[in-house]
Chain A
Amino acid sequence: MSDTLPLSIVNNRRLEKWLRFDPDRTLHLAVGKVEIGQGVLIALSQIAAEELDIDVDRVNILAGDTADAPDEGSTSSSQSIEVSGRSVRLVSAELRSRVLARLAQRLNCNPADIAIEDGAFLLENQPTGHDYWSFVSDADYAADITGSVVPKPPASYRVVGQPVPRKDLIAKVTGAAFIHDIVRPDMLHARMLRQPSRNAQLAALDKAAIRRAAKGEFRVIRLGNFVAFVGPDETVVQRAAVAALAHARWEGARELTPAHGEAAWFVDQPSDDRLIGDAPATPAGEMVSAVYSRPFVAHAAMAPSCGLAEFRDGHMEVWSHTQGVYPLRNSISEILGLPKDKVIVRHAHGAGCYGHNGADDAALDAAVIAQQIPGQCIRVQWRREEEFGFEPVSTAHRTRVAAVLDAAGRPVDWTTEVWAGSHVQRPIYGGLFLAQEALPNPPPPAKPGDPPEANGGGGTRNGTPLYDFAAKRIVHHLALSTPVRTSSLRGLGALPNVFAMECFMDELAERAGMDPVAYRLSMLSDTRARHSIENVAARCNWSDRGPVGTGKGLGLAWARYKNKAAYACVAVELEVDKEIRLNRVWACADAGLVINPDGAKNQLEGGIIHAASMTLKEQVTLDGAGITSLDWASYPIMTFSEVPEISTEIVHAPNLPTLGMGECTFGPTAAAIGNAVYHALGVRVRDMPLTRERIAEVLGRV
C-alpha cells in the first residue's frame, strides 16, 4: 500500500505525529498545511471528526510546527485538501480501526457491531464504558500508518460536506489574532534598512542623523549590507528605519528602466527553451495567432511581513507566517550554521497569502538579528514600502497563441508560446532570501527554475488546452534572469495563459462565425468541463447575449486548474464607459468531494475578485534600483465600490476525489473579463491590466 500513500504520510509514518486524544476530551490534530486565509483548518478538522465520529468542536488543530507537527512541505498550489485532507482521512480511519479491533476483542464482538457517538463506544446502543480518551494506548500512537484501512463511504458523511464555521475567525473579529500581535518576554522591535539590490554596497550610514530623528534608544545591527535597527520601543525603531532611507548611501545598485517592467522585455532575454507536447508540425490550413501579456504583479498582502525569533542556549525558535515551516527551518539552519535540531519554526497566522511573499524573508531577518542578540525575542515588522518594494513579485508573462484552422475554423494544431521569468524561486527551488544577499559572502545568484510539469508547471501552467485538438504543444522560454526577484503567486502562469487561450478561443469563434460557447462545446468532450460551462451559460442568460459593441459586455471562459485540479467556468457582465465596471459574475466549479461548501464558495468568490483586480488594475512598476509601486496609491487594488455581485455554484460530486479549488476561478475570471470587454467595445485588449488608458490606447489604434 505504501506506494499509494500520500507523501505527507510517507514522510510522517507514526500515528502520534498526527493525532492525540487529550485528557480534556479533545482531539489534538497536528498537520503540516497551514492557515493562509483559505480556511483550511476547519476543513481538516471536519475530516478527522468525521472519520473518528467525534464532535468537530472537540478538534484542536496545530498547524505548521517543526517541533510538534508533521512535515507536509509547503501550503501551496491548492494542495491542502487534496494531500493533507487525504492524509488526515487515512490516519483517522486507521486509528479508529485499530481501536475498534482491540475493543471488539475485549468485548468479544465484531468491530462492526460497535458504534461511536461523539467519541464514546456503544454496543447495541448501550455504553461500553469505553471511549477514545480511556482506550487509545501508547501502542496505538506508536504504530506506523499502513494506509490499508478503507475510510468511510461519502454517503455516510455527517460532518464532511457541511458548512461548519471556522474557529479562527472569532479572534480575528475581536482582537489580537496574528503573528503581528504576539508578545514575548524581553521582546525587542526591529526594522530593516534594505539593500536596494544584490551587489549594492552600503558606502555610508549617518548614524548620528538617524539617532537624532529616532528620538530614543536603539542598536544598529550591521553585518555587511544587512542593517537593522533594534530596540525596546517600536515607534523609535520605525522612525530610525524611515530616517535611514535618507541617511544611507548605496553604491552599485542595479539600474532599471520602466521597460524592464513590461512583459515584452522578456522576448530578447537569454532563456532556457523547452518544447512540451507534440512535435512542431505544419498541417494544411490557415494559421492565426495573437499575443497577450500580463505585467509584473504583487501579492500586496494587507499586512506587511513580520517574523519573530529567539536565540537562547544555542536554540533558535522562530515564528513565521510562512507557507512551509520545515523548508524555512532547513533554510535558517543552513544559512545560520545551526544544526536542524536546534532550530524550531512555528507557524502563526498572517494576512492572506497567495504565494511566496515576504514572510520567509522577515523570519530570516529576525533570526539573523536574534543570533546577534541572544536571550531576547526579536520582532521584525516590515514597513509597507518595504513589503511592496522587496517581496518577490509574480513575473511579467507574455503568451503567444497560434492555431492552424480546419475549413470550419476549428484548430487542428495549437501552440502556446510563453516568455516569462521564473514563477517559483522559493529557496527549495534554489531561490535566495534577501538577507542572504546582504550578509557577507553572498551565495552566487540563483539559476531560475520552474516547477516540473508533473506539479503543474510554472510558466507553462494550463498552457496545454483541454480541447479536442489533434496536436498541441507549449514552447516555453524561461528567462535566465529577471529584473527583480520573482516567485509564486496564485496560479503561477495559469492566469496569463488562460487569459490568452480563452480570449483567443473567442477570437477564433468569431472568425468561424460561431457563438463562443457553442464553438467551445463543439471541441470539448470532457463532460465535467461541459457541465460547468453549460451551468454558467444558463445562469447568465448567455443565449440572450446582445450584439458586440453596445458598451455592455458578457464574456465567458473556463479552465481546469493545472489541467488536473478543479474545473471552473466564469461569466462576467460589465459595462465600459470611461472605466470598466463589473456588474455581475457567475461561476460554477467542480471540485469533486467538497469538505466545507461555504469555505469553498468563499475561495471561489475571493479568487474571482482577486483575479478581477489583477486583470483590471494591477501592475508593479520598475525604475531606478527596483520597484517604484510602493503604496496602495501606486498599486491600487479593487475596492468595495468596484466589486461586482457574485453568484457561485458548486457541482455536487461527493463520490469523486477532492480537487484543489483555491485557484480555479483565477484564470477563467481574467479571460471572461477580456471577452466581455471585447463584447462591449468590439476591440480586443490583449495586454493586462485593462485600464482606462490601455483601452483608450487600443481604441485609438482601430
Chain B
Amino acid sequence: MNTELSVNGHSVHTGADPSTPLIDVLRNHLDLRGTRYGCGLEQCGSCMVIIDGKADYACSREVGSVAGRSVTTIEGLAVAGKLHPLQVAFLEEQAGQCGYCLSGILMSAKALLDRNPSPSRADIVAALDGNLCRCGAHPRILRAVEKAALAIRAGALS
C-alpha cells in the first residue's frame, strides 16, 4: 500500500507499510539521514521534524498518519544550497558540541520562528524544552536562535 506525502516540498510515494515509523521512512526509504533516532519514546526531540508547520516527533509516528501532509526535515532547511539563517547562526555561535541533538533543535526552532519571528528568550526556551542536549550547549543554542530571529527580521525588512 502506497502512502503519499510531501517531504521538503517534494511529493513522495512510499511503499512502506503505513505502520512504519516516519523516522524509518525518512532515513531508510528516502535516504534523509539527518533526522536522528534518540529514544523512540518522544522524550528527547532528536527526531523532531516539522509536520504541517508544527514541530513534531518522527520516531513513533506512523507514516500512514502523515499521508497527504507536508513534512520538513533538516535537509529541507537550506534552500538551493543556501543555508537557512538558523544554520548560519548555529555555525557562527558554534552552538553545539557533539551536534547529535542539533537537527531536532533546529526544526523546533524553525517551527517557532515561522510562527513567531520575534520570540522572547522565554518563548525560545519553551519551544526547545522538548529537546534534550547532553553536552550542555544550551546557552549557545539560545543565543543562536535569537541571532537567527534577528537576521530573519532584518532580511524581511530589507
Bound together, the chains give a CA A166 to CA B90 distance in angstroms of 11
> Once the chains bind, are A180 and B37 in contact (CB under 8 Å)?
yes
B72 in the interface (beta carbon within 8 A):
no
Contacts of B17 in A (CB 8 A): 215, 235
CA distance A606 to B136 in the complex (A): 4
Query: Which residues of the partner chain A approach B91 to less than 8 Å between Cβ atoms?
Result: 165, 169-170, 173
B112-150 CB mask vs A (1 if < 8 Å, else 0) is: 000000000000111011011111111111100000000
Contacting residue for B38 out of A163, A173, A302, CB 8 A: A302
Return the CB mask of A151-172 against B: 1 if under 8 Å, else 0: 0000000000001011011101
Enumerate chain B residues within 8 angstroms of A349, measured Cβ to Cβ.
98-99
A384 within 8 A of B: yes
Contacts of A163 in B (CB 8 A): 94
Inter-chain contacts of A302 with B (CB < 8 A): 36, 38, 44, 46, 98, 100-101, 132-134
In this assembly, does A37 line the interface, its C-beta being within 8 Å of a C-beta of chain B?
yes
Residues of B within 8 A of A36 (CB): 98
**A418 to B78 CA separation, bound complex (whole angstroms):** 53
Find residues 97-112 in chain B having any chain A CB closer than 8 Å to their own CB: 97-103, 106
* Bound Cα distance from A384 to B129, whole angstroms: 20
Report the contact-size class of chain A (Cβ under 8 Å from the partner).
35 or more
Cα-based distance from A383 to B38 in the complex (angstroms): 9
**Given that A302-B46, A631-B43, A639-B129 are known contacts, is A609 also in contact with B136, CB under 8 Å in the complex?**
yes
B77: Cβ under 8 A from any A Cβ: yes
Instruction: Please name all residues of chain A whose beta carbon is closer than 8 Å to the beta carbon of B138 when the two chains form the complex.
Output: 609, 638, 640, 643
Could you tell me the distance in whole angstroms from the C-beta of A9 to the nearest C-beta in chain B? 28
Closest to A299 in B: B134
Most B CB within 10 A of own CB, among A303, A633, A638 = A303
Q: Collect the chain B residues with CB atoms within 8 Å of residue A365's CB.
A: none
Binds B, one of A407-415, A597-605, A651-659: A597-605
Q: Is A178 an interface residue (CB 8 A)?
A: yes
CB < 8 Å neighbour of B106 from A173, A178, A605, A632: A173
- Please measure, in the bound complex, the distance between the C-alpha atom of A36 and the C-alpha atom of B135, giving whole angstroms: 10
User: Is A608 an interface residue when CB atoms closer than 8 A count as contact?
Assistant: yes
Q: Is the CB of B37 within 8 A of A172?
A: no
CA distance A271 to B125 in the complex (A): 47
Query: Which listed residue, B34, B96, B125, B134, touches A610 by the CB 8 Å rule?
Result: B134
Assembled-state Cα–Cα distance A633/B137 (Å)? 21
**Minimum Cβ distance to chain B for residue A190 (Å):** 14
Q: Classify chain B's interface size.
A: 35 or more
Question: What's the nearest-Cβ distance from chain A to residue B58, in Å?
Answer: 13
Asked if A534 is at the interface (CB within 8 A of a chain B CB), the reply is: no
Decide yes or no: A176 and B33 within 8 Å by CB, A352-B100, A602-B97, A602-B140 being known contacts: yes
Flag if A37 contacts B98 (CB, 8 Å).
Answer: yes
Within 8 Å by CB of A175, from B39, B46, B74, B139, lies B74
Does A527 lie at the interface of the complex (its beta carbon under 8 Å from any beta carbon of B)?
no
Q: Are B41 and A384 in contact (CB under 8 A)?
A: yes
Residues A195-213 near B (CB distance < 8 A): none
User: Chain B's nearest CB lies how many Å from the CB of A56?
Assistant: 15
A10 within 8 A of B: no
C-alpha gap A210/B36 in the complex (Å): 26
Bound complex: CA of A376 vs CA of B36, how far in Å?
A: 24
Whole-angstrom distance between the Cβ of B112 and the nearest chain A Cβ? 12
Q: State the CA gap A575–B75 with chains docked (Å).
A: 42
What residue in chain A is nearest B124 (Cβ atoms)? Answer: A640
Interface centre among A163, A349, A610, A640 (most CB of B within 10 A): A640
**In the assembled complex, which residues on chain B have CB atoms less than 8 Å from the CB atom of A631?**
39, 41, 43
List chain A residues, Cβ under 8 A from B125: 640-641
How far, in Å, is A245 (CB) from chain B's closest CB?
A: 14
Question: Cβ of B32 and Cβ of A350 under 8 Å apart?
Answer: no
Query: Contact mask B44-57 → A, CB, 8 Å, 1/0?
Result: 10100000000000
User: Provided the pairs A173-B96, A178-B36 are in contact, do residues A351 and B131 lie with their beta carbons within 8 angstroms?
Assistant: no
In the complex, what distance in Å separates the CA atom of A350 from the CA atom of B98? 7
Contacting residues, chain B, for A37 (C-beta < 8 A): 97-99, 135
Q: Is the CB of B24 within 8 A of A301?
A: no
Beyond A37-B135, A350-B98, A608-B136, 13 extra complex contacts between A and B, CB < 8 Å: A174-B75, A180-B36, A183-B31, A234-B24, A301-B98, A303-B36, A351-B98, A352-B97, A599-B94, A610-B135, A639-B132, A640-B124, A643-B136
A-B residue pairs in contact (CB < 8 Å), sample of 27: A37-B135, A165-B92, A166-B94, A173-B74, A174-B75, A174-B83, A176-B33, A176-B34, A180-B33, A183-B33, A301-B98, A302-B36, A302-B46, A302-B101, A302-B134, A349-B99, A352-B97, A352-B100, A381-B37, A384-B38, A605-B137, A608-B136, A610-B134, A633-B43, A640-B129, A641-B129, A643-B138
Residues of A within 8 A of B (CB): 36-39, 163, 165-166, 168-170, 172-178, 180-181, 183, 215, 233-235, 238, 300-304, 349-353, 381, 383-384, 598-599, 602-603, 605-610, 613, 631-633, 637-641, 643, 645-646
Q: Which 6 A-B pairs have the closest CB atoms?
A: A609-B136, A172-B99, A37-B98, A606-B136, A352-B98, A175-B34
